[in-house]
Each structure stands twice: as C-alpha cells, then as structure tokens.
Amino acid sequence: METLKLAIQKSGRLSEKSLELISECDIRLTQGKRKLISASNDFPLQILYLRDDDIPQYVADGVADIGIVGENEVMEKAKNVSMVRKLGFARCRMSLAIPQDEVYESVQWFNGKRIATSYPHILKDYLQDKNIRAQIEQISGSVEIAPSVGLADSIFDIVSSGSTLVGNRLKEVELVCKSEAVIISSQSLSKEKEKILDDLLFRIDTVLRSKGNKYILLNAPNDKIKEITNILPGMKSPTVMPLFQEGWSSMHFVVSEKDFWNVVDQLKEYGAEGILVIPIEKMIF
C-alpha cells in the first residue's frame, strides 16, 4: 500500500492551519521524533515538515507528492505543479508600496526606480506587463526597511493588515495579486496515489464546505413558516416538525455564513423564537 507524502510548512504562518485541516479530516498523526516527518495510522498519509519556499520544488521533484503553500510561493517559483484546491486561509495581497510623502499618480512612478522584494519573478512579470523599466533589488527578509536604509526607493511585498507598511512610513499604491494557502500536487502521481489524493480532497471538501455554513434550529408560528422559507437563500425545503404547543413548529435548516446575519434579522421580524446556531462539522453531498 502506497503512502501519499504531504509537505507542510515546518513553522510559520501556514503551519498551524495546515495541521488543523488534517485533523479536521479526522486524520490523526503520530509525531515524528524530531518533527521532520510524521505519519498516520488511520490514513495513508505522511507529513514532511519543510520551509515554505522549498515546498514547490520538492513537489515538482516528486520528493513530496502534494504540498500546502501560499499561492505567492507557487507563482514565484513557477514550478511544474498543479494547484488542486484553494484553502481559504493565510489570505494576503502582494503590493507595491512607496514612502508616504511621495506624490503618486500612476504606476509610471516606478519607471527608473529601485524596488526591493523577495519575489523578483512575480514583480518582473508585472513590470513587463505594465511596460515599466525598474531595477529589482532581491533581498530575502525585512523588505519593508529597504527604503529607509537607502537600499531601494520602494518595495514589493506581502501585505495583510497593512500595519507593517504604516510602521515603516510606507503606503500601498498598487495591488499586484492576491494569495491564499493552496494545495499543490505533483503532475506525475501513480494511480494509487491519485486515489489517495481523491479521498483526501473529498474529506477536505466536506470540511471546507461546512466551515462556510451554520445549522439553525428555531421555533416559528405555523402561519409564518412559508415566509421564513422564502427568505432562506437557496433552500428548497427546510425540515419542519410540530411542537407540543399548538400553532408552533420547529424549523431546521442550513444557512451560509455570508447570509447569516441578514437571515437572523429577518427571522426575528417573523416572530421566530429560541434560535439556535450550531457549527457544522462535516457536509457530505
């Protein structure tokens, strides 16, 4: 029996969520002694702990079969790997930023300027696309201090809350691309490994689907059941059960997180009572 090798980040922003996802798929890991590798007794999966920058290469070379990594690393390394799932965590954007007191009108500002970054390939493609000639200064960390120490005029880096930029008196002027954690896969998996990957993706999909949804239980006056059903987006038919108290029923249904507050406000207007909101562990279709 073959084992699928999954590379995840050893320690950093992606590590905890990557392990959490595996655990939510009900795959329990036996810890490797020095935490370089761990395996599972209940699913044919082995975990390799690596630096995130190395994951695309390891997957492209087949040392790992699949990996969880930021799209930014995949785009930068442009390896022969397939992106098989977006995972919805570690969301960030990749942006150009310049000193706060600079006047900025258009991307033409960057003509003839020096831009510090750890992502030279993504930046080069972007500049080429915009017809900008600039000098790329590749540095591996603390990109945001480059302008203040005179190493560059501007930076191209990952932005999340924006507070790092503000702390370094920089302003974000162009959003180049967005990124989130993704699963990448080698393009030459054996039939057996493909099957394991399909099984894993099936579990991951049920987890991801459930994350976006809530299960709602409530009591409603019978004469409002129709109205309540009409405000539930995409809901064909909620479960309705009579309560002991005459004229009232219990309704059960699933609602997506994005519609949730909107729906709750309307439910109250229709006289719904005892509204219970329950997280869903898995959703299987």
Interface with ligand PRT (CB under 6 A):
9, 12-14, 51-53, 70, 72-73, 90, 92, 144, 157-164, 179
- Residue 9 binding target from ligand PRT, Zn ion, none, CB below 5 to 8 Å by type: ligand PRT
In DSSP terms, which residues pair with 178 in a beta bridge?
93
CB burial string 122-158: b at 16+ within 10 A, e below:
bbeebbeeeebebebbeeeeebbbbbeeeebbbbbbb
Report the nearest approach of ligand PRT to the CB of residue 70 (Å): 2
Closest CB to ligand PRT among 181 and 220? 181
Radius of gyration of the chain (CA): 25
* Residue of this chain nearest to Zn ion (CB atom): 53
Measured from the CB atom, the residue of 58 and 110 that comes closer to Zn ion is: 58
Residue 53 is classified by DSSP as G
Report the residue from 22, 52, 98, 267 that binds Zn ion according to the rule CB under 5 A: 52
CB of 29 to ligand PRT, least distance (A): 19
Distance of closest approach, residue 85 Cβ to ligand PRT, in angstroms: 15
Whichever of 52 and 144 has its CB closer to Zn ion, that residue is 52
**DSSP string of 203-259, one letter each residue:** HHHHHHHHHTEEEEEEEEEGGGHHHHHHHSTT-S--EEEE-SSTTEEEEEEEEEHHH
Does 53 help bind Zn ion (rule: CB under 5 A)?
yes
158 contact, one of Zn ion, ligand PRT, none, CB 5-8 Å limit per kind:
ligand PRT
Nearest by Cα to 122 from 159, 85, 87, 73: 73
Give residue 199's identity as a one-letter amino acid code.
Answer: D
Measure the N-to-C terminal CA separation of the chain; round to a whole number of Å: 28
Least Å distance, CB 31 to ligand PRT, is: 19
The residues that touch Zn ion, with contacts defined as CB under 5 A, are 52-53
